[in-house]
Structure 1
Amino acid sequence: METYDNLKQGEKGAWVSIAAYILLSAFKISMGYITGSEALTADGVNNTTDIVVSLAVLIGLRISRKPPDRDHPYGHMRAETIASLVASFIMFAAGIQVIIQAARSFMEGDLQPPGLLAAWIALFSAVCMWFVYMYNSRLARRINNKSLMAAALDNRSDAFVSIGAAAGIFGARLGLPVLDSIAALLVGVVICKTAWDIFSDASHALTDGFDDEKLKVFQDTVRNTPGVKGIRDIRARVHGSNILLDVVVEVSAELSVEQSHFISDEIERRMHSKHKVDNVHVHIEPYTEAERQVERQDE
């Protein structure tokens, strides 16, 4: 129940991002055309793609809140990941469009310095996005939601992009109008890089990939649990914002079922307290004297 309450709280962060991006993108694109700033226009286009990302996060959170059913016994948590994957394609297309537009400006050769107002608008946007980033990152850490944290990091990158756009505009006003187009080009590259990062993380999770270093940390926690003699197998996969862990442990063959069950409960408790992993499936196997002898021979 706590997981679904956290998902509902995460929707607040998505709505904050959507509202900020709608206002800023409309303002920056219109002012970019008025002031003649390629960088500010590109920054505004970047924010329109971020609307899609925030909507994807919102939709994913909404679907993820649906309880398990006959077709989805593990729940609908992966909807977050699928939504992020779709958003990455849209972001990449927008980034390519910005790069093409910046390249056209170079080819046309008739570059005019943009109005100084564009730079101040970009800086104002950077400040706004930094406050949105602070809000979403704190909320994501409090509810332990990875998709919202990804959106928060996107908010932070947008603040940096706006600062870069402002720097390009100021440079153009100092007598190098080409810097405005260069800033627009860099914005397009940042959009494509962000899209690739989101695509890589989402595709890795959807194919049941998992961080090997994090799995080793989980393995150490299980191995150090009192009563565990050995680990035969351990596997983990990402399911939305949750982690599903399957582990086969060996315990003394002389233990009763109740004692073995206590060890299993202790593993689950430690995984929750140390790593916030709630979905742990523990299978118990007997650890016999014959296995001890085999281990001594291997040594």
Structure 2
Amino acid sequence: MDQYQEIKQGEKGAMVSIGAYIILSGLKLAAGYGFASAALVADGFNNLTDIVASTAVLIGLRISQKPPDNDHPYGHFRAETIAALVASFIMATVGIQVLISAGSSLFADHRTTPNLISAWVALGAAACMAAVYMYNRKLARKINNQALMAAAKDNLSDALVSVGAAVGIIGSQLGLPWLDPVAALAVGLIICKTAWDIFYSSTHALTDGFNEKELITLRGTIEKTHGVRSIKDIKARVHGSNVLIDVVVQVDPQLTLVESHQISDEIERRMERKHNIMSVHVHVEPLSPEQSDALLSEKLRPN
């Protein structure tokens, strides 16, 4: 299965999430307003933002399947990241609105105790989202899709949010009416936190940021490739769900062009096999005698 087929498979997870969110958001908002639960209403609005986020993921997956062209020689894979960035702004807006509404309810002179039925609605929704999370996590691991894995993590947070809403509602039934709007505030904070996390990861990827620890791991794999004497430079960046690597390796100057090319091929095979990275640009340079002596001295130096 190539990367375009994998992206196509990822659409199934996004569509499952959208379907679940449409049903649950309508159910939660109806039950929240009908049974006077601020926490369940906030959870319903949380799912509305999730519809937007999942739709953005779906649109991004669709666009990223377009093949490379003259304007996009590396393909359209970053459409996923841009869609996620747009979704983060929408989620932040809704999160702030939920916080304002919950704050007003918390400081109101009179608070209505929500009906216990709304707690059962929240718990049922939590069970549903837990099932969606397990499905998307399994699919994301199967096709190695980062966007779908992020959506799966969002599914899990939504399940936990619904559990929190149920706790607030049950607390109100036990003579703590302020616990329901407090749970709504917590939901609003979770929405804003999720929006910030998506915004940060998206902007980090779009500005060619890359995890330093992961880069060290990738460097170690290349250094262990037979024939590589040293790594002069290595860079990596995220392109949608793909990782692009540019590396300059130094080899024995006595090697032929064919032998040096075989080392490059072996690096590409190892990166694909160990890290599922298929976009590796390898530049080979001869190791100077001075550098060779320095490397030998370093290896012989006692620890």
> How would you bin the TM-score normalised by the shorter chain?
over 0.9
Q: Which amino acid aligns with 2:207?
A: T
Two-structure CA RMSD over aligned residues (Å): 1.1
Inter-partner Cα distance in structure 2 for 1:257 and 1:295: 23
Inter-partner Cα distance in structure 2 for 1:44 and 1:177: 20
Secondary structure class of the residue paired with 1:108: coil
User: Equivalent residue for 2:91?
Assistant: 91
CA deviations over 1:214-253 (Å, ceiling 9, x no partner): 0000000000000000000000000000000000000101
Are 1:172 and 2:145 an aligned pair? no
Are 1:77 and 2:77 an aligned pair? yes
1:292, distance to aligned residue in structure 2 (A) = 2.1
User: Equivalent residue for 2:129?
Assistant: 129
Q: Which amino acid aligns with 1:256?
A: T
Secondary structure class of the residue paired with 1:234: strand
1:274, distance to aligned residue in structure 2 (A) = 0.6
Matches within 5 A, 1:141-180: 141-180=141-180
Inter-partner Cα distance in structure 2 for 1:184 and 1:178: 10
Inter-partner Cα distance in structure 2 for 1:109 and 1:191: 27
Inter-partner Cα distance in structure 2 for 1:71 and 1:226: 37
Matches within 5 A, 1:1-299: 2-295=2-295
CA deviations over 1:142-195 (Å, ceiling 9, x no partner): 000000000000000000000000000000001111000000000000000000
1:287, distance to aligned residue in structure 2 (A) = 1.1
Q: Which runs of 5+ in 1 are unaligned?
A: none
Inter-partner Cα distance in structure 2 for 1:108 and 1:290: 77
The count of aligned residue pairs is: 299
Inter-partner Cα distance in structure 1 for 2:109 and 2:264: 70
Inter-partner Cα distance in structure 2 for 1:166 and 1:173: 11
CA deviations over 1:80-103 (Å, ceiling 9, x no partner): 000000000000000000000001
Inter-partner Cα distance in structure 2 for 1:57 and 1:108: 38
Inter-partner Cα distance in structure 2 for 1:220 and 1:60: 33
Normalised TM-score (structure 2)? 0.97
Inter-partner Cα distance in structure 2 for 1:157 and 1:126: 10
Using the aligned pairs only, state the percent identity: 60
